[in-house]
Structure 1
């Protein structure tokens, strides 16, 4: 888990700032997942691609159909 305490953009470049060194620009191949209970956790524009927002609740569901057998006996 990565806690993001600063703004994160969706560009393909990232700047790495090491204390006492010059900033270095790198290619950013990371994917991010935002999890929040706030109504306005992230800003998504209509032109943004590949974004998905799921609204869930606290109701539990039964998962009896999922096998826990690892195949090892």
Structure 2
């Protein structure tokens, strides 16, 4: 797995991950690990009215488009 930075791209209306200077668009159903403190939490990207992820235990987590997230993908 590779660590990357996940940000919201307004022009694409999509989340993108940057790894080694390259950007990759993420799609619904995309799997990754969200880094929270010292934990890596298995997550799946989803889109309803807004973007969110489903974390382990089937817990939803709303993404804020102004935030930057660190992930392993």
Structure with the largest fraction of strand: 2
TM-score (normalised: structure 1): 0.24
Greater C-alpha radius of gyration: 1
TM-score computed with the length of structure 2 as normaliser: 0.24
